Amino acid sequence: MKKSYLQWFFVLGMGMFLGACSDDDKTVDPGTEPGEVTASRYVVASTPVGSQGVADYLLTTSDLSQGTISTVGKGIEQDGSYRYYVTHKGKFFSLLYGQGNPGAVTTYSVDEKGELVKTSDFQSETVQVFTTAGDDILTIKVPRTGNESASWFRINADQSKIVGEGQVNIVKLAGNGERAHFTWATQVGDKVFAPYMSIKGVAPDAFGTANPDSSWIAVFSYPGMQLEKVIKDNRTSFIGSYFNNGLAVDENGDAYAFSPASATNSGVATSKKPSAIIRVKKGTTEFDQSYFFNVQEKSGGYHIANQTYLSKGKILLYMYGTVNTATGAKRLAIADLYNQTFTWVTGAPESIASGSASYNNNTISADGKTVFVGINTDAGSWVYGIDIATATAKQGLKVEGGAITAIVKVK
């Protein structure tokens, strides 16, 4: 994978790291007394600077609102160039991107002392899409050129092994002379919704498209992963983007689809439709034509980069910082999907070069009032707590020795 194609994901999900730490198989919050039992822990992942073959170090803490943690002499080393993280059924999974080769999937649990303990390590194909579904972690390997089939794998979270796999022809799926490139996948009811971009798939403009202003979601059965239909719409551009989740499901079971309106052709932005949110109501497989949230208009011309669903219709939006373009350092906002309101977050740095990955959407306080986001600046790295009701941020936990790349809550 070329780093230029990973820019969006790693600007949000990867930072530069300073210092080093040990490769012990366990790590514990400095503030946790021996024998203390914690109901859940936050795993903070960080990327080192100048260390060859090290993707991240994993630290744990029970409190993101205050204090300091450091990588110096602490943390679990994650090898490779890139790692992605997901938690499911009380386990923490670290997936290695193998640069086209198979990569390790390392599984950790949290013991009675609140320590991360490695429980298994096995090989899987390098993937670009990963999500939880049923008892599984569903992953999809999506070729941008050459091979016309995407491969999917079901990793059982309890067994930590592949229990099912198959393929889908992405050229046939697109049906327009290009290829469908899945941006993510999300379980919606008893199905899996997989939005996709339409891309040429031919160098030197593999991610360019002649179809910039349409949205598509492939609907699969689960766990069989049989393609049932494609949901289509022409009010905005494709849903999500490369390594960026464009779907969120609320407590009612409705699915909200986010478009950055970021399509290009030969490097030139070509989307003419606004960056917006559209909806699929629970139990249906069609876009709801009565719902259209024009976020670009409500924000004063800014495009959605990514999102984290919070609760009760509230969503944290990462917005591109350059008006009327899908470029620029990110800014944060809170939107209300039901009332279609948009509010910029105050109290956090206005320009975010890198931070914790937005797809880790479980970093919300126990009372549901605060969402935690890692933000890296020239002055250092901190976790910010954002009050959801007021869209105000407060600086919390400081992470010394490097930059935060992910924060994941493990129960």
Cis peptide bond upstream of 223, omega within 30: yes
d(CA 375, CA 64) in angstroms, rounded, equals 12
Sole residue written with tokens 């198979």: 102
pLDDT score at 39:
61
- The tens digit of pLDDT for each residue in 210-232 reads 999 999 999 999 999 999 999 99
Average of per-residue pLDDT across 392-400: 95
State the pLDDT confidence band at 243, using cuts at 50, 70 and 90. confident
- The tens digit of pLDDT for each residue in 83-110 reads 889 999 989 999 987 666 777 889 999 8
Residue 2 in any domain: the answer is no
In terms of residue numbers, what domain contains 132?
7-410
Residue 1 in any domain: the answer is no
Asked if the model's pLDDT at residue 35 lies above 80, the reply is no
How many domains does the structure of the chain reveal? 1
- The tens digit of pLDDT for each residue in 316-367 reads 999 999 999 999 999 999 999 999 999 999 999 877 878 888 776 568 888 8
Asked if the model's pLDDT at residue 244 lies above 90, the reply is no
pLDDT score at 26:
39
CATH of the domain at 194: 2.130.10.10
Asked if the model's pLDDT at residue 5 lies above 80, the reply is no
Residue 47 in any domain: the answer is yes
Residue 14's Cβ-count burial label (10 Å; 0-12, 13-18, 19+) is buried
Residue 38 in any domain: the answer is yes
- The tens digit of pLDDT for each residue in 109-167 reads 988 888 899 999 888 887 889 999 999 999 999 999 999 999 999 999 999 899 999 99
pLDDT score at 115:
83
pLDDT score at 200:
97
Average of per-residue pLDDT across 195-206: 96
* Cβ atoms 330, 355 nearer than 8 A: yes
Report the percent of the chain where pLDDT is more than 90: 67
Q: Tell me the HSE value of 83 on the side-chain side, using a 13 A CA sphere.
A: 32
